[in-house]
Amino acid sequence: PMARDDQVYDAVRRRVVLFPLPFQGHISPMLHLAELLHARGLAVTVLHTDFNAPDPARHPEFAFVPIRETLPDGAASPETDIVAQLLALNGACEAPFREALASLLLSQRPPDVACVVVDGQWYTALGAASGLGLPVLTLRTESAATFRSMLAFPRLRDAGYLPIKEERLDELVAELEPLRARDLIRIDGSDEDALRGFIARVADAMRVSASGVVLNTFDAIEGLELAKIQDELSCPAFAVGPLHRMCRAPAEHSLHEPDRGCLAWLDAHPPRSVLYVSLGSVASVDPAVFEEMAWGLASSGVPFLWVVRPGSVHGTEGTPRMPDGVGEEVRSRGKVVTWAPQREVLAHEAIGAFWSHCGWNSTLESVCEGVPVLAQPCFADQTVNARYLTHQWGVGLELGDVIERATVAETVRMMMTGKEGDRVRERARQLKLQADQCVATSLAIDDLAQYMLSM
Ligand code: UDP
């Protein structure tokens, strides 16, 4: 009977159609948004690529529809640079997305689609949905500060900050403090023109076609940035984050099977004694950097839980091998896994700090758990997030541009047992309280759901 009631209810619900970008850091926030909208009375259809398809079993209450794209060879390979991947995905998915959405509209009797939400990087889908006459919102999965910096790109070029110049790297960017020129989004290996071109397409599509912008952030950490964004946009912006915390029981959307054994390993450690190390789902490092990380961790004397993904070291296909000599240390004091249940790890009381690449989801997850961060930004918006963690919120320490074993060991010890570590840990604890307060009182999702239903 439950199921039947649900179906009846679904038949009268207005529907929101979502189209996530098929990467880990984008799928989770979009599906958490879906959960929240569903809980506020909207029916949910998720259109998705076959590439990195989400698991429908996790959400029996949503409809999942594959768009059946054909990707050009190598388009989604980790060897292809990220800007080229995003351009290829946008090109290959535009027509299949439009067709899937059009046939969904035809099949709805009576028509029930209130609006579409596409990931912020799907500029072609944004245009396609709006071309079918539907209101479209975009979900920004990066911080408000990063989003602002992207909107400012044309002005930054006029002001001479871009292309990034060696001699101006440490200059504060006039309208974007505390960011310096060196903190602006960068993608090593992609040429700056391609990156600027991509950002321009995203911004243009948004200005022309978006009826609203949804951001996975919140006032307590980015109030000023949000106010400035709203001044600059002609459509409303909704700061609905931290999305994973707004959900009552956020579903796990890992593309890889997490190694849950590490939670029992953490149980055997005293509070705040373990360093968690992970560079997210995409970043990879040179073999020399990997070796310095391993030696630095080994000689720090600190227990650590380290996520070493297959393919996370350039030039190795499988799981990278520990350098000779480090293995013994790892066996005695460390635990290495290929994928961790990260949110649960960060919530574990044994964790004392997070050595992170500062992806936006990882940043939010550590802020929400009150865990201080050792920042090793690798590319894209990670430099922006690292700067905010260390210089805006005071909850992080920098590992430095060059990863070198002696400095790593010293910085790890400073974080885990030194005064500096205590200072940032206390700040992280306070920031977590502010985040909790925000989660308890935010009405942003209700406002967003109402806005969607009004369209
Ligand atoms: N993650 C995880 N287990 C891991 C590593 C990462 O569950 O071993 C999750 C993490 O909790 C976060 C996401 O993967 O939600 C990574 O997103 P983020 O924006 O931090 O970085 P990206 O992978 O996009 O660079």
Please report the DSSP string for 20-61 in residue order: --SSHHHHHHHHHHHHHHHHTT-EEEEEE-STT---GGG-TT
Instruction: Tell me which residues are annotated as active site.
Output: 26, 119
Give CA–CA dist 352/349, Å, rounded: 8
- At 77, list the tokens: 């390979």
Q: Give whole-number Cα distances, 93 to 48, 84, 97, 283, in Å.
A: 10, 14, 6, 24
Per-residue DSSP letter, 174: G
Which is the closest atom of ligand 1 to the Cα of 358?
Answer: 20
Give the total residue count for the chain. 455
Write out the E strands in 318-421. Answer: 334-337, 351-356, 373-375, 396-398
Please report the pLDDT score of residue 192 as a whole number. Answer: 82
Please report the pLDDT score of residue 67 as a whole number. Answer: 98
Cα-to-centroid distance, 6 and ligand 1 (Å): 33
- The closest residue, in CA terms, to atom 24 on ligand 1 is 25
Which is the closest atom of ligand 1 to the Cα of 141?
Answer: 19
Q: What is the largest CA-CA distance in the chain?
A: 69
- The closest residue, in CA terms, to atom 7 on ligand 1 is 342
**SS3 for 253?**
coil
Query: What pLDDT digit, counting tens, does each position of 12-29 carry?
Result: 689 999 999 999 999 999
Nearest to 32 by CA among 297, 250, 298, 304: 250
> Residue 261 in contact with residue 290, Cβ under 8 Å?
no
Please report the pLDDT score of residue 74 as a whole number. Answer: 80
Please report the pLDDT score of residue 330 as a whole number. Answer: 79
Please report the pLDDT score of residue 331 as a whole number. Answer: 78
Please report the pLDDT score of residue 103 as a whole number. Answer: 96
Give CA–CA dist 365/362, Å, rounded: 5
pTM of the shown model = 0.96
Which is the closest atom of ligand 1 to the Cα of 307?
Answer: 8
Query: What pLDDT digit, counting tens, does each position of 367-406 carry?
Result: 999 999 999 999 999 999 999 999 999 999 999 989 999 9
> What's phi and psi for 324, nearest 5 deg?
-55, 135
Q: With DSSP H G I counted as helix, E B as strand and the rest as coil, what are the percentages for the chain, rounded to 5?
A: 50, 15, 35
Please report the pLDDT score of residue 189 as a whole number. Answer: 67
Please report the pLDDT score of residue 2 as a whole number. Answer: 42
With a cut of 50, which residues of the chain have pLDDT below it?
1-9
Give CA–CA dist 32/267, Å, rounded: 28
The response to whether residue 25 sits with its C-beta less than 6 Å from ligand 1 reads yes
Give CA–CA dist 300/333, Å, rounded: 10
